[in-house]
Structure 1
Amino acid sequence: MAIKAVQQIMLGTVTGSEAKAKETLQAMVNAGYNGIELNSFMVNPTPFMVRLLTKAAGMPTGKGGNLDWAKLVKEAGLSVVSLHKDLGGIEKEFAKTVREAEKYNTTNVVITGMYRFDYRDKTQVTDLCKRLNEAGKKLKAEGINLLYHNHNYEFQKVDGRQNAYEYIISNTDPEYVGFEFDSYWPTEAGVCALDVMKMLGSRMKLYHINDRGTKLTKPVMTPILKSDSCELGYGNMNLEALCGQALSSGVEAVVLESHKNWIDKSPIKSFEASAKFLNEHIGTV
């Protein structure tokens, strides 16, 4: 059975102190989750600019960087399904990356895309593939899997034929580079997420799940609503088919990461609502 996890970025506003973090992690367990996905920049003291940028994007990191997350997740009985890192950090501080993975007892390190990067530029994307292969090979020697996490910008055409995500799949070594597939972002980009998932096959080691739809909270001026993230089963994505495909591919974990459009602006109420879908379609602990 795949682990059901929550991405730590959802929890920034409700893990600012040890007491709040314990309360939030217990709420996750009570809802049926048995895993968590950590971010390196959230388990370590976070630079002010990083906190400012993530808050501006609607996903504040909070002030939990000084907490003992290894102790907290162990006491809660949660497994760490992966650790999010940036590629440059892995390359510059390889030994530190290995130590961090060992500290949290995880065998997966995930790169969450590239920043200030042009996915339409074939030269840049080709170089990225080379870097992924090299970093993945080094991590493999340490017993750690390197996974790549997508957003929507990878679905831009890189050569007039393939989009950048297809190019990355084709030009990375399956032995050294796997994928944490996020189905929300290709859907947002107008791409069939199920087709991409089938293309990945067993290279998809983790599945990031979210739903996409609308949440009407007040009257609107026009008949056009703005689509956004929403709780699982409340949107218009075919999550049943996507979950079925993910499980048939043998994913290790299904990881919830909804954005800022939460019920009553509460990430806890949001992951509790989404847990009902996951418990039905992924299974109960």
Structure 2
Amino acid sequence: MSALLSRRNLLASSAAAILPLQAKTLKTFGAQLYTLRSIINEKPLEVLQQLEALGFTEVEAIRGNLAQIWDSLKQTKLKPVSLHMDTSYFFKDIEKLNPALDDAKSKGFEYIVCPYIAPADRGGVEVIKKLADTLNKTGQRVKAAGMKLCYHNHAFEFEPVAGTQDRLLDVLMREADKSLVGLELDIMWAQVGGVPPEDVFAKYKGRIPLVHLKNVSKIAPQYNERVKKEDFQTVGGGVINIPSVLKAATAAGTKHFFVEQDQTPGNPLDSLKQSAEYLKKLNF
């Protein structure tokens, strides 16, 4: 009998040790305020308070309207973590970069993000190498200002490089100094580009501190942003396996998760509510 009880106790303690791993939750998640661009400027405090009430605790802001919303943001408990700055600060208006960085640092931002490369400025391997060089130089300035630089992908970075096993993103990540430039992985655009997000996390472990959580309908892989409005989905909708992505992301050391939905069928707060409710109940 004592042997049987000992075996039961061992099994029970083993199960108790395993259960927390099986019931992991995403305790903290934020919102990319771009999702709210159609409504936030008119009533910033009201919108941000509603966002907070939905369970969001962090935000990723856009410098373009930061001045309009900043006073309201300070009246909430939402933590400003990262800031998307217009690409012109990195390529054309570089004299404006240092003052913008100083302003972001004074407001408590930890990350600066290069958000988008316009189609006219895109290209093959040589263009990507020049982009990496620019990001390295910018990353030095961001680091000197006490923050970290990340690059936000879309779909074009996943286009295969002819005659190699690479995609353009691999070229960028290889040429970018990992001590100066991180990746903000947009999982939806990776999916659109035909690459499972989990594969990106596994390949670039330790280099993806920020993530955009979103989803997409089943569509054929492509290397541009020609996605129909109705194909943008809440985090819990679409074809991306979110629990699998979260496992891969946490294993890769991701620190911040931002819900974003580029296009919504109605009030963007309604879509963010659906995503928040899904994440709050999700075990992975």
TM-score, normalised to structure 1, is 0.80
Matches within 5 A, 1:6-45: 6-17=31-42, 20-44=43-67
CA contact (8 A) 2:214 2:235 kept: yes
2:134 — aligned with what?
131
Cα distance, 1:266 vs. partner? 1.2
Matches within 5 A, 1:46-61: none
Q: Hey, what's the Cα distance between the residues in 2 that align with 1:203 and 1:117?
A: 27
Other structure's SS at 1:14 match: coil
Which deviates the most, 7-16 or 269-278?
7-16
Which deviates the most, 124-133 or 2-11?
2-11
Select which of 101, 122, 126 maps to 2:125.
122
Matched, 1:189 2:189: no
Instruction: Assess, with a 3 A threshold, how the Cα gap between structure 1 residues 70 and 16 changes in structure 2: closer, same or farther.
Output: closer
- Structure 2, unaligned runs of 5 or more: 1-25, 219-227
**What number of residue pairs does the alignment pair up?**
246
Q: Hey, what's the Cα distance between the residues in 1 that align with 2:57 and 2:182?
A: 22
Cα distance, 1:158 vs. partner? 3.8
Select which of 236, 245, 256 maps to 1:242.
245
Cα distance, 1:123 vs. partner? 1.7
CA contact (8 A) 1:35 1:79 kept: yes
- Structure 1, unaligned runs of 5 or more: 45-66, 215-224
Other structure's SS at 1:93 match: helix
CA contact (8 A) 2:198 2:249 kept: no
1:152 aligned partner, one-letter code: A
Select which of 147, 150, 153 maps to 2:153.
150
Cα distance, 1:163 vs. partner? 1.3
2:222 — aligned with what?
none
* CA deviation vs aligned residue, 1:129-173 (integer Å, no higher than 9, x gap): 111111111211221100000000111234542111111111111
Instruction: Assess, with a 3 A threshold, how the Cα gap between structure 1 residues 80 and 97 changes in structure 2: closer, same or farther.
Output: same
Cα distance, 1:193 vs. partner? 1.5
2:172 — aligned with what?
168
Other structure's SS at 1:202 match: coil
Matched, 1:200 2:204: yes
2:278 — aligned with what?
277
2:48 aligned partner, one-letter code: L
2:71 — aligned with what?
71
Instruction: Assess, with a 3 A threshold, how the Cα gap between structure 1 residues 3 and 143 changes in structure 2: closer, same or farther.
Output: farther
CA RMSD of aligned residues (A): 2.2
Cα distance, 1:93 vs. partner? 1.5
* CA deviation vs aligned residue, 1:177-209 (integer Å, no higher than 9, x gap): 011100100111222211012112111011101
Larger gyration radius, structure 1 or structure 2: 2
CA contact (8 A) 1:119 1:158 kept: no
* Percent identical: 24
TM-score, normalised to structure 2, is 0.80
1:86 aligned partner, one-letter code: D
1:49 — aligned with what?
none
Q: Hey, what's the Cα distance between the residues in 1 that align with 2:215 and 2:119?
A: 27
Matched, 1:180 2:203: no
Other structure's SS at 2:210 match: strand
Cα distance, 1:35 vs. partner? 1.0
Q: Hey, what's the Cα distance between the residues in 1 that align with 2:281 and 2:251?
A: 16
Q: Which aligned segments of 4 or more residues in structure 1 are displaced greater than 6 angstroms? A: none
* CA deviation vs aligned residue, 1:21-70 (integer Å, no higher than 9, x gap): 212111111111001111111225xxxxxxxxxxxxxxxxxxxxxx2x33
Q: Hey, what's the Cα distance between the residues in 1 that align with 2:146 and 2:234?
A: 35
CA contact (8 A) 1:2 1:247 kept: no
2:4 — aligned with what?
none
